[in-house]
Amino acid sequence: MRLAIVTSHPIQYQAPLFRELARRIDARVFFAHRASGQDHARAGFGFGFDWDVDLLSGYEHRFLGNVAPEPGLHHFAGCDNPEISEQLQRGAFDALLVTGWHLKCYWQAIWAAKRRGIPVMVRGDSHLATPRGRLKRAGKAVVYPAALRVFDAALYVGEWSRRYWQHYGYPAHRLVFSPHCVDNAWFAARATEEAGARLRAAHGIEPNAKVVLFAGKLVPFKRVTDAALAAGILSGQQRPVTLMIAGSGPSADELTTVAGAAGVRLLHLGFCNQTAMPQAYAAANALVLPSEHETWGLVANESLACGTPIIVSDACGCAADLAADGAAGRIVPVGDISTLAAAMLDLLDHPPAREVIADRIARYSPAAAADGIIEAAGRVTRRSAA
């Protein structure tokens, strides 16, 4: 099996999956764009930086020439890579996997593959709860049932993703589960009790104190102030909680004000690159993600990989997969502060066993995701040869 993969740029969550695929099949990744600090700033971080983990080793890859007049990830034409046609012709690939369809590069790859009789698969995390205007929804209802049939297989990353494809009438026999994932083993190896204890000690947090972590960009839709208000309710009940923040963004000042008024101890770590995150999860008793919309929320995967349970809003794409049964976490309605406070208290008083958390996150691993991709590739190549 020789698989071509076209994706926008190196992403910290995709690299472990590409390495897993490279261990098992002949795969080559084509990147449409070299992400810059400006791209990260546009994505909501507010400043430029480079990820401090290796995103490129362990798998065969190539950066395609990007001829866009305004290169970038923030608009459809920002990744313009006509070279992909030649690469697919020369590569003798059995199948193509694209990781979306919102950039020009993906359609260039799709049509180049179709011209050469190469089956095309797609893997993404689109779901129906993403905020959309009425006209856009109406347009999709007309166009998508036919347009999505261009894909010979669709790899859904979770329950909401599966419902998305069902909604547009995509054939069930062409759907394959390839779960959203992070490098579970990498996070688990670094989220030791010692690492968590060091972080607590460095900031004067007692070993038995309760800590709730928010990890992510401090932007309005993440509703991080909800976490501060909920922690304030617990403080009023003589159950003080330290709210630890691993992130930066425009909501930082508002968060400080709200936490102060609520009498909540706020520990703001600022932006934490990948290598700093495992100790933050290890130092926390729970992760909270109260967003009003969230395509998935891979910080929840990271947290569970580190053995830390989660509280997510019912608007997070990961909720149905990672927390719906209450085993490894809790789901709360968006904006319901009292329910969020009750969930915090319940999870702090009755934490799930680490074995339960480990069992849940094991189903959302690079190996499981690779299983789905390889299964789908086998299906589409058999159909193509028939």
Largest Cα–Cα separation, the chain: 68
In angstroms and rounded to an integer, the radius of gyration of the C-alpha atoms of the chain is 22
Name residue, tokens 């580190």.
306
At residue 47, does pLDDT exceed 90?
Answer: no
Contact 256, 83 (CB under 8 A): no
pLDDT band at 264 (very low <50, low <70, confident <90, very high): very high
Residues with Cβ within 8 Å of residue 286, at least 6 apart in sequence: 212, 213, 308, 309, 310, 311, 329, 344, 347, 348, 351
At residue 150, does pLDDT exceed 90?
Answer: yes
pLDDT band at 44 (very low <50, low <70, confident <90, very high): low
At residue 50, does pLDDT exceed 90?
Answer: no
pLDDT band at 386 (very low <50, low <70, confident <90, very high): low
Nearest to 317 by CA among 224, 216, 221, 180: 180
DSSP three-state, residue 152: coil
Contact 30, 87 (CB under 8 A): yes
pLDDT band at 257 (very low <50, low <70, confident <90, very high): very high
The CATH superfamily assigned to 2-181+365-385 is Glycogen Phosphorylase B; (3.40.50.2000)
Output the six-digit token pair for 258: 């709200």
Contact 310, 286 (CB under 8 A): yes
pTM (2 d.p.): 0.95
Query: What does pLDDT average to over the chain?
Result: 95
pLDDT at residue 328 in the model: 97
Q: d(Cα 283, Cα 217) in Å, to the nearest integer?
A: 19
DSSP assignment of 43-99, as one string?
IIISS----SS--STTSEEEEPP---SS-SSSSGGG---THHHHHHHHHT-SEEEES
Positions of CATH 3.40.50.2000 in the chain = 2-181+365-385, 184-362
Q: Tell me the CATH number for domain 184-362.
A: 3.40.50.2000
What b/e string do you get for 292-331 counting C-beta neighbours within 10 Å, with b at 16 or more?
Answer: ebbbbbbbbbbbbbbbbbbbbbebbbbbbbbbbeeebbbb
Question: For the segment 59-116, what is each residue's pLDDT rounded down to a tens digit?
Answer: 999 999 999 999 999 999 999 999 999 999 999 999 999 999 999 999 999 999 999 9
pLDDT band at 135 (very low <50, low <70, confident <90, very high): confident
Contact 94, 1 (CB under 8 A): yes
What b/e string do you get for 28-59 counting C-beta neighbours within 10 Å, with b at 16 or more?
Answer: bbbbbbebeeebbeeebbbeeeeeeeebeeeb
pLDDT at residue 83 in the model: 98
Output the six-digit token pair for 96: 């193509």
pLDDT band at 382 (very low <50, low <70, confident <90, very high): confident
Output the six-digit token pair for 89: 């012709």
pLDDT at residue 131 in the model: 84
Question: For the segment 176-203, what is each residue's pLDDT rounded down to a tens digit?
Answer: 999 999 999 999 999 999 999 999 999 9
pLDDT band at 321 (very low <50, low <70, confident <90, very high): very high
Residue 248 burial (CB < 10 Å; 0-12/13-18/19+)? buried
Stretch 164-175: mean pLDDT, rounded?
A: 97
Cα atoms found within 13 Å of the Cα of residue 44, Cβ hemisphere only: 10
pLDDT at residue 377 in the model: 98
Question: For the segment 279-291, what is each residue's pLDDT rounded down to a tens digit?
Answer: 999 999 999 999 9
Stretch 38-67: mean pLDDT, rounded?
A: 82
Contact 5, 97 (CB under 8 A): yes
Show the DSSP H helices in 148-271 as ranges: 159-167, 184-190, 193-202, 224-236, 252-262
175-177: strand order across its sheet: 60-63, 26-31, 2-7, 95-98, 120-124, 153-156, 175-177
